Amino acid sequence: MTSLGDKDSVQTENLFQGSWTQVSCPCCVSDRVEPLVLIRLSDKVQPITKKWLISLIEASQRHGGAALLAHPGEDECGDVIVVSAPRCTLLRATEDLGLCKKYRNGDMVAFSYQDRDNFSNVDDMQEFLTLAERQYIVKNELDSLQAQKKQRIPGVTEATGVLEAWGNVCQKLEKARLIKEILPLHDQQRLKDLGKTWYSQKQIWGQPIDAIHSYFGGTVAFYFSFLDFYIWALVPPALLGLVLTFLMPGGGSSGEAMKKQTTERVMGDDDGPSVSGHMVQAVFSMLWSTLFMEFWKRRSSSLSHRWGTLQLSEGFAEPRPGFHGTLGINPVTGRLEPLFPEWKRQLRVGLVSVPIVGLFMGLVVLGMTGFYHGEALAKGFHQDRGSWFSRALLYLPSVVHIVYTNMLGNVYSTVALQLTEWENHREESSFQNHHTTKVLLFSFFNNFAVLFHIAFYKQDLLLLRKRLASLLIVTQLVNQCTEVLVPFIVDCFLKATQKKQKEDDPEVDKLRAQSLPRFPGLFSEYIELLVQFGYLSLFSCVYPLTAVFLLINNVLEIRGDAYKICKLFRKPFSAPVSNMGVWQTAFEVLGFVSVISNCWLLLLSPRVQEFCLQGGISSKNILLFAILVEHVLILIKMVLAFMIPDEPDWVRIKREQMEFQSMQALGQQKL
Amino acid sequence: MTSLGDKDSVQTENLFQGSWTQVSCPCCVSDRVEPLVLIRLSDKVQPITKKWLISLIEASQRHGGAALLAHPGEDECGDVIVVSAPRCTLLRATEDLGLCKKYRNGDMVAFSYQDRDNFSNVDDMQEFLTLAERQYIVKNELDSLQAQKKQRIPGVTEATGVLEAWGNVCQKLEKARLIKEILPLHDQQRLKDLGKTWYSQKQIWGQPIDAIHSYFGGTVAFYFSFLDFYIWALVPPALLGLVLTFLMPGGGSSGEAMKKQTTERVMGDDDGPSVSGHMVQAVFSMLWSTLFMEFWKRRSSSLSHRWGTLQLSEGFAEPRPGFHGTLGINPVTGRLEPLFPEWKRQLRVGLVSVPIVGLFMGLVVLGMTGFYHGEALAKGFHQDRGSWFSRALLYLPSVVHIVYTNMLGNVYSTVALQLTEWENHREESSFQNHHTTKVLLFSFFNNFAVLFHIAFYKQDLLLLRKRLASLLIVTQLVNQCTEVLVPFIVDCFLKATQKKQKEDDPEVDKLRAQSLPRFPGLFSEYIELLVQFGYLSLFSCVYPLTAVFLLINNVLEIRGDAYKICKLFRKPFSAPVSNMGVWQTAFEVLGFVSVISNCWLLLLSPRVQEFCLQGGISSKNILLFAILVEHVLILIKMVLAFMIPDEPDWVRIKREQMEFQSMQALGQQKL
């Protein structure tokens, strides 16, 4: 079935010794076949297994194949398969994904295969779909390869080599370690161009988000759009912080005293802003976090419209590869697929996952309590004895706590992944959201437990200020080093080794050289932003310079991240997405928590306490007042969030147009 | 154009002397024309004006008519026009409304005129559409009559008789007092049958909601379903209240003491339940209100599916008659209609309506403060003087306050209506929601301001208990009398007069006799429920018997309301609706407020205060504890509300099926 000689119907670019498999439908014949995805096989794979896999990839979907184009690399025995996709497969998948594309009249319209000729650029796949979309489609088609009947994988004699009927082929091959990895290929020329407009040149303002979206896909593009938006949004709180720190409380002092005061303020050594400054900061923080998220939602929905992902139909597509259940007819789409009842999933989430996550958070608190307890014990012991042994013992609690936290974190990340797998989500986005939520809760708890402990249990605002200042200054410095400097040095090394192979190596080896470390996902980047946002909105009234440090950090961060994703990692697959998913919710929830936190911090602030004592107001009344303020602020926040529409008017009209058209179509189609 | 002789194509029931106008399309010819709507004209209307109106009603929509059937009543000079609708008009309107009807395969599917033959009962309009739907469609078609060009109304010589181009005909005629009213006709036989299953017979459990929906339409049916659901939901809190009142605190006491204690408890004279009972009640109240609303939402969505209103397309239909704006092309539907930008409406709501509503609420508070102030003054004056004059003066504050409150209420209701008109809502539902919200906020404030004042400002829980008990016992008794007894007596009178005319009057006079008082809408019924729900959820931990009284009251209430709507009022027009609209939100918001209220009441309760004093806990710590409890309870409430899906699984699947089909239709239609 594989065609290894030169074919008249398909002309490859002659990059490789072998050639592409034949295109089955005449409309897809093209002069140029673009290598999109690389499958790396294990060394022990027999040629017959490879041949069988290639035949599966190129077989039509009617015959249980993926309807893609495959190329065996150097020769039949090599350990790679290069995969591409013919036009028809790409177009049909575009419809299945529910992507919107530019219609004849310039509108974004959900793509329909039957109506394909009315869409712009439909003859040029490289224009019609972005590189990220093409690669995702190939990955998706590979992922949905199913065995049509129970069979033995050719060339594999072991017990692991049996494919069940309706079993997922790629999952099985990966489990049996026949496929090492499936990765999208970089387009070096485009990557270079992208890098130029992104981080290399004097490009300081703005991000080339459309180019990022086209090359890296929606998830990455949304991250960078959000970071960009966030940097701009940080300007007002940074200005306010500067004003509150340097202009408001001082005034008369000058020279040495002024200098000293300034250093104290930056280092968090004085006792914070004045009462009115404190109030201003708390109210401002509430307004700012609300407006920030509401306007981001508007920006997000207009981006989603621009990128054609307003009408994604994930719910109607095939389930994600890891999904399992009893085979049955999907009541909505009428297709044969595994079914798993919703209530069962919810029971699993509610009765198992939630308690386990709670348990781990309890363990974090336990660890913290143990640490404080141990520290007190060690200190007491040292004061009693004062020997070198007791001095060494002083470090023990910290060491134990660090080891404990790390171990807990590792165990938790495994548990979170397995729990989410076990919850058995049908859609990839739902899986991602549940997984992210779990990890996020834990990371957040880990990051903020100590700060909350200092703020609300110890009620030591001076310590909180110091801690925040050191976190902001030290951690960010360390982060920047590890994120920007180290990668740069590594990259220089890489370049030196790459140059050597450049001249004489065959094309396939160049492809293989793309096997950089796997892209770890944007989780750590997002959590960094979220923790930042937490410092800013939860505790900023304690330390007004927070926004200034974050602004400086993020201007560096956005370039560091860009460099990292372009140069240091393997290109990630990226599903089309219509928003930031669960991260948006996380930022919104944090906004609500911040109102509560700010109100209570305000109450605890030494200046406010002093002010009350002077005014002769009882601490009970002040508490009641704080409760009132908290509830009013939350009410204002909710009214504001409700009043500002989540999408701009023009997006709403476009969306309603689509809904109206599909309603009308439903009426007419039934004829 | 009107056909007054006997026509071969249309046979009337020979109820009237005249006859129906001719049906324009052959498919609508039917043996029987059902009178649906009555237009009552002013006495001074000239026959030529009536003739012109009839010709407008019967003209096809292409010619600017309503495509309905009209009957001139007794003769051409009479002051009524009876209106009916031919099949085609009904079917097209069904599609425009987005109503779902039973398809061949038994599913509820959005009706499509082109595909009409595949729907069940499509030949029998009396089966296919409910009476309420048919009447609403007729009203809707009449309402959307527009003048095609500027013209003078025939037979009207005054300056008011000029119709602008695209002006609304019915609105103009009502303004010029040519049309007195447009009302749907009762079907006496069906009304009798409905009454039998609803309130006459020994029908104690459940409500015939499908029959109600079919006869009175969605809004009324949703109200009675909700009330029914609410009665069942009251059983657990009523049981808990009984247990807490009669079993928990007592025990040893018997005989006379027990009896006295019981009376005290019912009258709210003792100092409330024990601390633990108090806590149980507060937590229970939170859980109960959350579960109640979540399960009601599920019930509501399954009712909405059953009644075919899951996919209402109000946004795509013609705007409501009162809507005005510059004439333009609707960007979504492409139809020519008045346009009004969304941001302008939001500005009007945010910058004018919200402050004015706030102002009126401020006036309520001002009135209350003034009342308390005046009362104190009058008491002081009476104590100083002690004359008959000062005794009379004691009543002055109450009288002034009552007059003030009534005047304020009247002014407010006018202002609320005019503000909402001025906000210029495009959809009727949006208009209703905004209007209801305004009136609701005010009524709620009016009802609860005093209670909140007693609870949180005076912090006098004993007074609160007494006030609640008297409100529950006295007000409900009065309500029941005015709502059930008085109507019954009125009805007996009515029957006596009706009997006289029954025998010899012509049919048209019988129709005219249907002009009972206009149905005032369900606003007062809903607000009664909401205030009840407020007593229960906000303050129930002060007075646990609340639920018992409410349960007794509502069992009577549901029958009283049924009797009232069937017998005492004109039949209302009722648009298809998919839920209770803004009332659902109101109940949900109240649920949140109740958590806050319960926590603080718990804190203020004398028993808890005593308990703390005994335990040596400082009032500040107890306050902090209450804050913590409040936040945790709200968190639990939100998690619960999030975890329970708003629609049952089977409704979700049906809805997704429809979405999938319309998506697929969109793809195929573009061919």
Separation between Cα atoms, residue B546 and residue B244, nearest integer Å = 12
In a domain, A484, yes or no: yes
* Residue B311 DSSP symbol: T
**Together in a domain, B165 and B225:** no
Chain B nearest-CA residue for A98: B663
Partners of A667 on chain B (C-beta within 8 Å) are 95, 110, 112-115
Q: Do B649 and A113 touch (CB under 8 A)?
A: no
The yes-or-no verdict on residue A661 having pLDDT over 70 is yes
Mean pLDDT for all residues in chain A: 81
pLDDT confidence of A316, banded at 50, 70, 90? confident
Could you give the residue ranges of the DSSP H alpha helices within A250-327? 255-267, 275-306
Lowest mean pLDDT among A272-281, A453-462, A546-555: A272-281
N- to C-terminal Cα distance for chain B? 43
In a shared domain, residues A154 and A250: no
| Domain, as residue range, for B32 | 26-185
Distance from the A117 Cα atom to the nearest Cα atom in chain B, whole angstroms: 9
Residues of B in contact with A643 (CB under 8 A): 346, 350
Three-state DSSP class for residue A314: helix
- How would you label B436-452 residue by residue, b for 16+ Cβ within 10 Å and e otherwise? bbbbbbbbbbbbbbbbb
> Which chain B residue has its CA at the smallest distance from A655's CA?
B332
**Chain-chain contact of B662 with A663 (C-beta, under 8 angstroms):** yes
Q: How is residue A569 annotated by DSSP?
A: S
Strands B80-84 and B69-71: antiparallel
A227 within a domain of the structure (yes/no): no
Torsion of CA A274, A275, A278, A283, to 10 degrees: -150
Count of CA atoms in the C-beta half-sphere (13 A) of A531 = 22
3-class SS letters over A51-116: HHHHHHHHCCHHHCCCCCEEECCCCCCCCEEEEECCHHHHHHHHHHHCCEEEECCCCEEECCHHHH
Mean pLDDT by 10 residues, chain B (671 residues): 36 50 70 84 85 88 84 76 89 89 86 86 88 92 85 79 81 86 86 82 74 92 94 92 74 46 55 67 86 94 92 80 84 84 88 92 90 88 84 85 88 93 90 90 84 81 82 77 73 65 51 67 86 84 83 85 83 89 91 85 75 76 81 88 88 86 71 46
Domain assignment present for B6:
no
- A179 and A277 together in one domain: no
Specify if A367 maps to a domain: no
What single-letter amino acid sits at B314? E
Q: In this structure, are residues B523 and B435 in contact, taking their beta carbons and an 8 Å threshold?
A: no
Task: Tell me which H or E stretch contains B237.
Answer: helix B218-242
- Cβ of B670 and A95 within 8 Å? no
Residue B228 tokens read as 């029914």
Q: Choose the final residue of a domain: A185, A214, A247.
A: A185
Summarize pLDDT for A362-376 with one digit per residue, the tens. Answer: 999 899 889 889 888
Q: Which of A315, A343, A663 sits opposite B316 (nearest CB)?
A: A663
The answer to the question of residue B445 being in a domain is: no
* B99 and B52 Cβ atoms separated by less than 8 Å: no
pLDDT in tens, B196-242: 888 765 666 778 899 999 999 999 999 999 999 999 999 999 998 88
- Residue-level pLDDT at A604: 75
**Interchain pair A668, B663: CB under 8 A:** no
CB-CB under 8 Å, B333 with A660: yes
Which chain B positions have a beta carbon within 8 Å of A112's beta carbon?
A: 666-668, 670
Q: Is residue A300's pLDDT more than 90? A: yes
With beta carbons under 8 A apart, name residues in chain A contacting B659: 316
Any residues with CB less than 8 A from the CB of B508 and at least 6 apart, and which?
Answer: B16, B73, B74, B78, B80, B82
Answer whether residue A258 shows pLDDT above 70: no
Nearest to A21 by CA among A8, A37, A3, A36: A3
B661 contacts on A by Cβ (under 8 Å): 666
pLDDT digits 0-9 by tens, A488-514: 777 777 666 655 555 444 555 555 555
Residue listed under structure tokens 């991260």: A583
Name the nearest CA neighbour of A511 among A117, A188, A49: A188
Asked if the Cβ–Cβ distance from B656 to A315 is below 8 Å, we say yes
| Distances, alpha carbon B592 to alpha carbons A153, B222, B293, B635, in Å | 60, 23, 11, 10
In a mutational test of the B interface, the residue from A94, A332, A335 whose CB has the highest number of chain B CBs within 10 Å is A332
A337 - beta bridge partners? Answer: A328
User: Is the Cβ–Cβ distance between A510 and A570 less than 8 Å?
Assistant: no
Top residue of B437, B585, B670 to mutate, by most chain A CBs within 10 Å, is: B670
Residue A12, in any domain of the structure? no
Q: Are residues B539 and B652 in the same domain?
A: yes
A388 occurs within a structural domain: no
d(CA A660, CA B313): 9
CB atoms within 10 A of CB B139: 20
At a CB cut-off of 8 Å and minimum separation 6, what does B223 contact?
A: B522, B525, B526, B561, B580
The answer on A169 and A287 residing in a single domain is no
Give the per-residue pLDDT at A495: 66
Q: Contact at 8 Å (CB) between A71 and A108? A: no
Task: Give yes or no for residue A250 having a pLDDT over 60.
Answer: no
Number of domain units in chain B: 2
Final residue of a structural domain among B127, B157, B185? B185
Determine the residue type at B539: F
Torsion over CA: B204, B206, B209, B210 (sign) = negative
Do residue A668 and residue B631 have CB atoms under 8 angstroms apart?
Answer: no
- Same structural domain, A504 and A568: yes
**A103: closest chain B residue by CA:** B670
Record: contact A671-B115, CB cut-off 8 A: yes
B525 and B634 part of one domain? yes
Task: List, in sequence order, every beta strand (DSSP E) within B196-300.
Answer: none
Count CB atoms within 10 A of the CB of residue A389: 10
Q: Are residues A177 and A245 in the same domain?
A: no
DSSP-derived 3-state class of residue A270:
coil
* Whether residue B283 sits in one domain with residue B180: no
Any domain includes B370 = no
Distance from CA of B115 to the nearest CA of A (A): 5
* Cβ–Cβ < 8 Å for A82, A37: yes
The per-residue pLDDT for range A148-179, each reduced to its tens digit, is 888 888 888 777 778 887 778 888 888 888 88
Contact predicate B289/A630, CB 8 Å: no
Contact A668 B627 (CB under 8 A): no
B556 and B484 inside one domain: yes
Nearest CA in chain A to B316: A660
Residues B155 and B256 in one domain: no
Q: What is the pLDDT of residues B608-658, one digit of tens each?
A: 777 777 877 777 777 778 888 888 888 889 888 888 889 898 898 888 888
Query: What pLDDT is recorded for position B14?
Result: 42
pLDDT at position A1 is 35
Give the model's pLDDT for residue A523: 85
Look up the pTM and report it: 0.84
Please give the single-letter amino acid code of residue B669: Q
Position B343, amino acid:
W
Do B59 and B171 share a domain, yes or no? yes
Q: What are the residue ranges of helices labelled H in A234-254?
A: 235-242
| pLDDT tens profile A175-192 | 888 888 888 888 888 888
Which residue, B185, B211, B230, sits at the end of a domain? Answer: B185
A80 has which bridge partners?
Answer: A40
SS3 state of residue A149: coil
| Angstroms from B334 CA to nearest CA on chain A | 9
- A2 — pLDDT class (breaks 50, 70, 90): very low
Nearest one of B237, B303, B184 to B536, comparing CA atoms: B237
